[in-house]
Amino acid sequence: MDLKDRPNTIICDIDGVLLKHYGDITRQHLIKPVVLPRAIENIKKWDLAGYTIILITGRRESTRFYTEKQLSESGIIYDHLIMGVASGIRVLINDKKTNDNQNTALAFNLNRNEGFSNG
């Protein structure tokens, strides 16, 4: 089975990618969330394709209830939510399969608060 035929995993940041980033964690919780362009469309597309959707955020674990509420009310569905991820550079390390030379990890950097407007 080719890797392209297997379900994929999407790991996606929340603030600045799916929801507008306000630059301050307190403001993230005080201001009604704004869903960024094409965020919902991409979430739906990934869900319909059977992808595992993992959301990550620098928000503290103590804000989990409110974060989950914001995501739900914004129509953003996911399989796993990982909180407390440092805001520095995020590195994904994955192995290549021995029987296939195809890359098994990709990374995309989007401009903050532009959502998926360019793709």
Identify whether 114 is part of a domain.
no
Share of the chain above pLDDT 70, in %: 92
For the ranges 10-14, 28-32, 99-103, 108-112, which has the lowest average pLDDT? 99-103
- Using DSSP's 3-state secondary structure scheme, residue 11 falls into strand
Q: Which domain holds residue 57?
A: 3-82
β-strands 9-13, 80-82: how paired? unpaired
Residue 61 pLDDT grade (very low, low, confident, very high; cuts 50, 70, 90): very high
112 to 13, 15, 67, 80, 116: CA distances (angstroms) = 11, 8, 19, 22, 10
Total domain count, the chain: 1
User: By the 8 A CB rule, do 43 and 76 touch?
Assistant: yes
Residue 86 pLDDT grade (very low, low, confident, very high; cuts 50, 70, 90): confident
Mean pLDDT of 82-95: 88
Question: For residue 7, what is the domain's CATH number?
Answer: 3.40.50.1000
Identify whether 87 is part of a domain.
no
Q: What does the pLDDT read at residue 98? A: 79
Identify whether 30 is part of a domain.
yes
Q: What does the pLDDT read at residue 5? A: 64
Identify whether 95 is part of a domain.
no
CA torsion, ordered 42, 48, 70, 110, to nearest 10 deg? -20
Identify whether 44 is part of a domain.
yes
Q: What does the pLDDT read at residue 1? A: 39
